[in-house]
Amino acid sequence: MKKIRLTFGLVFIAPVFIVLGYLAVILGNLLRLMHLERASEKTVHFILDILIAWIFLWLGIRLRVEGKENIPAWGTKVCYFSNHQSLMDIPIIFGAGMWCGIVAKKELYRIPLLRGLLNVLKCVAIDRSSLRNSMQAILKGSDQIKEGYPMGIFPEGTRSRTGEMLEMKAGAFKMATRAGALVVPVAMKNTRKTFEGADSLRPVHVYVRIMEPIDSSALSEEETRDLHTIVENRIRQALEELPGPYGRG
């Protein structure tokens, strides 16, 4: 089934991805050069909304989102923390309305068009094999949050191959606490079944729960130290409560 979905991607999604992707990169950078930062962001998001809807259509993704009211206003210092199951997680985060820069593995930047999109979205490359590079990426993301640009990170550090959430790394949360940002836990369920774990061509219902923000600037020293555990537990509980089986996806 994965091969069939990959074929759909190559035939129906890839041409639209190339056209809309380059359009977003060109217009986004052009408006940024004209110092129209917010216009650049809105234009890129509008174009990519169309692209994401097209991807969801051909991969049979039916997105169900809870808690959109918990998405902070644009310009707020905020960082989204989500579990990670699939290559589709980033489009799903955007499709759920959480536009942000993502801390993404450096390998994604080897694809020219994808590199352009990641850059125009102010994503940050990370080399998880290098502790020094990982810390630099966290600090860069934190600086962008301070400037009012939302960021997102998958604090497990890698995709879960089973659908079951891995342990979250405390270091990832420094991106939010260093900036005094709102921490928004996000649970995503069934995303692996959209591609890597596809076992049929039936529509896949993906469930996203956006939880109430935690103000990291108001936390005590002990609460800050335990923040990764608090967020991890909230996401685990949400994954248990959302529809469908949990794990082995």
CATH superfamily ID and name for 62-241: Glycerol-3-phosphate (1)-acyltransferase (3.40.1130.10)
pTM of the model: 0.93
DSSP letter for each residue of 22-57 = HHHHHHHHHHHHTT-HHHHHHHHHHHHHHHHHHHHH
Gap between the Cα atoms of 70 and 63, Å rounded? 17
pLDDT in tens, 216-249: 999 999 999 999 999 999 999 999 999 976 654 4
Phi, psi dihedrals of residue 210, rounded to the nearest 5° = -100, 115
pLDDT at residue 101 tops 80: yes
pLDDT, residue 201, reads: 76
Better-scored residue on pLDDT, 155 or 244: 155
- Overall average pLDDT of the 110-131 stretch: 92
- Which of 1-15, 124-138, 141-155, 233-247 is least confident? 1-15
CA distances in angstroms from 192 to 27, 88, 165, 216, 230, listed in the order given = 32, 8, 12, 30, 24
pLDDT at residue 202 tops 90: no
Better-scored residue on pLDDT, 192 or 98: 98
pLDDT, residue 161, reads: 79
What ranges do the domains of the chain cover?
62-241
